Chain A
Amino acid sequence: NAGVTQTPKFRVLKTGQSMTLLCAQDMNHEYMYWYRQDPGMGLRLIHYSVGEGTTAKGEVPDGYNVSRLKKQNFLLGLESAAPSQTSVYFCASSYDGTSGYEQYFGPGTRLTVT
Chain B
Amino acid sequence: KQEVTQIPAALSVPEGENLVLNCSFTDSAIYNLQWFRQDPGKGLTSLLLIQSSQREQTSGRLNASLDKSSGRSTLYIAASQPGDSATYLCAVHFSGNTGKLIFGQGTTLQVKP
Contacts and interface: CB of A to CB of B under 8 A. Distances in A.
Interface in B86-100: 89, 91, 93, 98-100
A48 B99 contact: yes
Query: B interface, how many residues as a size bin?
Result: 20 to 34
A89 to B, nearest CB: 11
B45 A45 contact: no
Nearest to B31: A101
Of A44, A92, A100, most B-chain CB atoms within 10 Å = A100
Contacts, number: 58
B100 A45 contact: yes
Interface in A38-64: 40, 42-45, 48, 50, 58
B32 to A, nearest CB: 6
A90 B44 contact: yes
Given A43-B89, A48-B100, A100 B46 contact: no
Contacts of A50: 98-99
A77 interface: no
Given A31-B99, A50-B98, A90 B43 contact: yes
B99 A42 contact: no
Of B45, B46, B106, which is in contact with the most chain A CB atoms at under 10 Å from its CB?
Answer: B46
Contacts of A107: 42-43
Contacts of B89: 42-43
A101 B95 CA distance: 12
Contact of A105 (B44, B98, B100): B44
A101 B32 contact: yes
Interface string B45-80: 110010100000000000000000000000000000
Contacts of A44: 103
